[in-house]
């Protein structure tokens, strides 16, 4: 691992674990196991995996990217946006080919809308970066007003969450990104993060059943609780990883055994994000044809294929190749 990442291994490991959680969330979602158990597993993934990415993205962008000139930051933003466009085009084309074989009856518009929905993370991240750049140009008083407005809009049960839950959820993820720009951790903060999450899970999920996985598509007060869990859940994986690493210094050999694996996964999270949907499209096609069923073994196989494809491409694609330009850095910038 390089020296920069070595200073904050918990960030590297948290990002890798979040990537694994994203893949498991999408591949295990249709498994035929106890619905109540599966629902709680998926709820945990939902409230931690992408929120963790958003928190870490805010942290890394604020700590490292903003040190560079504005032109560099604009190129970083354009890379994200163009990757988003490229991913939609490639995955939509792949869907069209398979759907033509399966005769699904979906229109081109429906295919592109479905694929764009799968790639929602990229435009939300782009919006978050633009808002951060605007905030950095404002004085402290305006920043407080600006963040307060986002908080109110994110959780109001009158304006957005009752009427437009998708908009409310987007604002929540933007808020998590902005929280990440102020992120710091120590032992006491890590314990507090874990404790708050445990209390919320006991109260909202286990004792009173206020929130379950169906809350993702709900609105109103139930969705407000879901979003509160999502905001707090963004810090859960980093907090746990931080405590594990710092309480296992005497077992450094055991940590080093995982270091290379987690570091490689962390380095290739963008490719993993793409290939999970590539695999999902194939699985959907095979299920529609009743060729495969969803079982624990099959879902593990789907997950393994996702990571394998991403790592194979990572090891065989030069940074200067056209494939790298499409998947990772459509625009190169030297500084």
Q: How far apart, in whole angstroms, are the C-alpha atoms of residue 176 and residue 55?
A: 6
User: Whose CA is closest to 42, among 27, 18, 30, 25?
Assistant: 25
**Position 250 confidence tier, pLDDT thresholds 50, 70, 90:** very low
For the chain, the average pLDDT equals 79
pLDDT at 118: 82
Q: DSSP string of 11-23? A: HHHHHHHHHHHHH
pLDDT at 197: 94
Look at 23-27, 125-129, 188-192 and tell me which has the smallest mean pLDDT.
23-27
In this structure, what token pair is assigned to residue 31?
């498994």
Whole-structure pTM value = 0.84
pLDDT tens digits for 181-238?
889 899 999 999 999 999 999 999 988 888 887 777 666 677 778 888 999 999 999 9
Given a cut of 50, is residue 313 above it in pLDDT?
A: yes
Look at 27-41, 113-127, 178-192, 269-283 and tell me which has the smallest mean pLDDT.
27-41
Long-range contacts of 154-163 (CB under 8 A, 24+ apart): 154/227, 155/224, 155/227, 155/228, 157/220, 157/221, 157/224, 161/219, 161/220, 161/223, 161/224, 161/227, 162/219, 162/220, 163/219
Higher pLDDT, 147 or 119: 119
pLDDT tens digits for 92-101?
898 888 877 7
Per-residue H/E/C for 275-311: HHHHHHHHHHHHHHCCCCCCCHHHHHHHHHHHHHHHH
Q: How many CB atoms lie within 10 A of CB 320?
A: 9
pLDDT at 28: 73
């Amino acid at each position: 691992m390089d020296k920069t990442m070595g200073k904050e291994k918990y960030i590297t490991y948290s990002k890798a674990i979040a990537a694994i959680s994203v893949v498991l969330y999408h591949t295990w979602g249709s498994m035929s196991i106890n619905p109540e158990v599966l629902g709680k597993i998926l709820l945990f993934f939902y409230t931690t995996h992408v929120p963790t990415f958003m928190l870490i993205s805010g942290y890394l962008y604020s700590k490292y990217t903003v040190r560079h000139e504005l032109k560099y930051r604009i190129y970083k933003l354009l890379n994200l946006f163009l990757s988003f466009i490229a991913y939609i085009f490639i995955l939509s084309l792949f869907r069209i080919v398979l759907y033509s074989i399966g005769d699904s009856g979906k229109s081109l518009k429906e295919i592109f809308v479905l694929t764009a929905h799968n790639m929602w993370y990229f435009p939300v991240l782009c919006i978050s970066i633009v808002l951060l750049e605007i905030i950095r140009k404002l004085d402290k008083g305006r920043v407080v007003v600006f963040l307060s407005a986002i908080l109110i809009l994110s959780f109001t049960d009158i304006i957005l969450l009752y009427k437009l839950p998708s908009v409310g959820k987007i604002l929540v993820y933007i808020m998590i990104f902005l929280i990440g720009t102020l992120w710091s951790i120590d032992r006491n903060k890590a314990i507090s993060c874990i404790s708050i999450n445990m209390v919320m899970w006991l109260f909202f999920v286990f004792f009173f059943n206020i929130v379950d996985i169906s809350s993702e598509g709900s609105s109103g007060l139930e969705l407000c609780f879901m979003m509160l869990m999502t905001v707090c859940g963004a810090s859960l994986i980093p907090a746990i990883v931080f405590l594990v690493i710092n309480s296992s210094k005497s077992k450094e050999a055991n940590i080093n055994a995982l270091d290379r694996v987690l570091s490689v996964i962390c380095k290739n999270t963008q490719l993993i994000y793409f290939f999970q949907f590539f695999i999902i499209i194939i699985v959907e096609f095979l299920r529609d044809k009743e060729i495969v069923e969803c079982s624990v073994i099959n879902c593990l196989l789907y997950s393994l294929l996702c990571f394998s494809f991403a790592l194979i491409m990572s090891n065989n694609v030069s940074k200067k190749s056209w494939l790298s330009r499409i998947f990772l850095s459509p625009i190169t910038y030297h500084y």
